[in-house]
Structure 1
Amino acid sequence: MPGGKWNLTASLRPRPGLDGVRAKVLHSATEHVESVGLSLGVDEALIEKLTTDAGVTTAQFAQIWPTRDAFLTDLLCELANQAQIDRADSETLLSTWQYLSMRVDDFHSIEGRRRVLIDVTRSAAEYNFDAVTASSKWRTYAALSVTILSWPEGDARTRVLDALRASELSFVETMESFYRNVLPTIGYRLKPVFKNDYQPFVVAAASVIEGLGIVRTTVPALVEAHFDLPVENGVEAWSVASLAFMGVVDAFIEPDPAFVPEEGIERLSGGIDVTPQSQSD
């Protein structure tokens, strides 16, 4: 991490009224990162560019961040906070709920419910793999998660780790609530050994998608391969991501022997609730 001072004479606390300036500079900086990628260095030329793009002065910058290290730490925390937006796409969650509404006839048999589970898993895994791992915010988050551990111990490292942890927990809670809605609706439940704790399942499923996203950088041909698997009426193309994701699903999830199809159909008409458990308790 760079250790130089931006302005040694400006080591003052940010003055009231500078919140807008701070937001503009951080917005300019996050756009810069999305455009050119994450860099763990900040020099005077970059700060000049960011302040010019934000329409503020370097003097205002120095009132908020007396050192380049202070600015870099704030920027990395901001990047960590923004990453959860692309990782838990609410539009995708709602689309899944709408898709289930078109498959209610399959709810009445074990075979039909299994087919729904497979179809939802396969399509969701492929979409998330393409959409999430192509996101510049996710790529920045992944790079930051790996490189932060090489930073020296100190307040800056702790702050960024705390921001990454908060982002991760927010994502986990959102997805936990989603799975708590969807799985009982289609006649499935978490296996009893997990004691109704969906978070290990969420983390394992996300790790498959995001881990393959990282590996795709070096061996894209392997990660993007598809395989034709036999189905009742022929064959069906499966990606590596969807196969791996299905493996996680089968490890954690099982049919609910007490499932009543009519209750699942009724749940669909009530809409989806993605309020995290910690907020709904």
Structure 2
Amino acid sequence: MPGDLWDRVSGQLGQPESGEVRTRVLLRGTQYVEAVGLSLGINTELVEQLSREAGVTTKQFAQVWDSPEAFLADLFCELANQAQIDRADTQTLLTTWQYLGMRVDDLRSPEGRRSVLIDIIRTAAEYNFDVVTASSKWRTYAALSTTIMSWPEGEARERVLDALRASEVSFVETMESFYRNVLPTVGYRLKPVFHNDYQPFVVAAASVIEGLGIVRATVPALVEARFDLPILNRGAEATEEWSVASLSFMGVVDAFIEPDPEFVADEATSRLVGGIDVTPQDS
């Protein structure tokens, strides 16, 4: 249906409020980006298509956004806001905490605690890598983080950067809370040189996972390689499979954390039995 005919027919029906128009078109725009990917710009034809599919007229669109570029800035902000949900994969966090409850006996020896830590990293890092980097929202976030830097300086660019910063801060705070709960429970702590600031560790760990996600798009065979490594304290004959993501994540962990000399196993067990919730909460 041509745009002018659509406008005439729609004009005979009830008119949505501007807030509803904005919500409808942004939702349709988000769905469009998730389906076809992120583009650098937007034209009149695409505006008409998205408006039509959202059930609004181009006139109603113009009452909310004075230009396609203004809409694109709002859409990019919406995409940045949504990405934080996918980056802090709730299922990985919850599963890790539940897994610890099954390994309480191993927390009573240094060797057992190291084994628990390795098992968590080996499995959770790979699972998180697969889940997060396969997400359309994460792929959009990664593309947006690069795309926005090509925009000319101005109010629209700064708004999108602010949304990206807010998303990043939210993610870092969620993961910082998670690590502050989990690491002491398995007998580890942040190395003193980092002055109890977990955020550099969070950023480094996330960069490994997300960087490999970007590289996988071009050289999947390298990123998806597997290696059989000896199992701790089980002899050279006993091996287990490690992914590149897990090995890389473990390298970051060992760079930032160390065994806690003041660890008390009974206190850790009480924490696990108490079921402390370290998963992100819906706002």
The offset of 1:57, in angstroms, is 1.4
Deviation at 1:256, TM superposition (A): 0.5
- 3-state DSSP of counterpart to 1:129: helix
Secondary structure class of the residue paired with 2:93: helix
The answer to which of 51-60 and 158-167 deviates more is: 51-60
TM-score of the superposed pair, with normalisation by structure 2: 0.90
Asked whether the equivalents of residues 181 and 273 of structure 1 are also in contact (C-alpha less than 8 Å), the reply is no
Matched residue, 1:4: none
Identity %: 75
SS of residue paired to 1:228: strand
Q: Note the C-alpha offset of 1:274.
A: 3.7
Instruction: Indicate conservation of the 8 Å contact 2:40/2:147, yes or no.
Output: no
Letter in 2 for 1:212: L
2:254 aligned residue (250, 268, 275): 250
SS at match of 1:259: coil
CA distance in 2, matches of 1:275, 1:212: 24
Displaced runs of 4+ in structure 1, greater than 4 A?
none
For 1:46, give the aligned amino acid. Answer: L
For 2:277 and 2:102, locate their aligned partners in 1 and report how far apart those are by CA, in whole Å. 19
Of 110-119 and 44-53, deviating more is 44-53
Say whether the 8 Å CA contact 2:190–2:196 is kept in structure 1. Answer: yes
Deviation at 1:188, TM superposition (A): 0.7
- After the TM superposition, which of the residue ranges 200-209 and 151-160 deviates more from structure 2? 151-160
SS in 2 for 1:272: coil
Match for residue 113 of structure 2?
Answer: 113
Report the alpha carbon displacement of residue 263 of structure 1 after superposing the two structures with TM. 0.3
User: Aligned partner of 1:256: which letter?
Assistant: D
TM-score relative to the length of structure 1: 0.90
5+ residue gaps, structure 1, are: 1-15
8 Å contact kept, 1:103–1:116:
yes
Q: Which residue identity is paired with 1:91?
A: Q
CA deviation after TM superposition for structure 1 residue 273, in Å: 3.9
Q: Residues of 1 paired with 2:259 and 2:159: CA distance?
A: 42
Q: How does 1:146-165 map to 2 (within 5 A)?
A: 146-165=146-165
How far does residue 58 in structure 1 lie from its aligned partner after superposition? 1.2
1:95 offset after TM fit, Å? Answer: 1.2
Q: 2:243 aligns with which of 229, 239, 244?
A: 239
- 1:230 CA displacement: 1.3
What secondary structure, in the 3-state scheme, does the structure 1 residue paired with 2:276 have? coil
Tell me which amino acid in the other structure corresponds to 1:196.
N
User: Structure 1 stretch 240-249 or stretch 39-48: which is displaced more?
Assistant: 39-48
TM-fit CA distance, 1:275: 7.9
For the residues of structure 2 that align with 1:251 and 1:244, how far apart are their CA atoms? Answer: 11
- 2:269 counterpart letter in structure 1: I
Q: Distance in 2 between matches of 1:91 and 1:221?
A: 26
C-alpha distance in 1 between matches for 2:110 and 2:50: 58
Q: How many residue pairs get matched?
A: 263
Q: Which runs of 5+ in 2 are unaligned?
A: 1-15
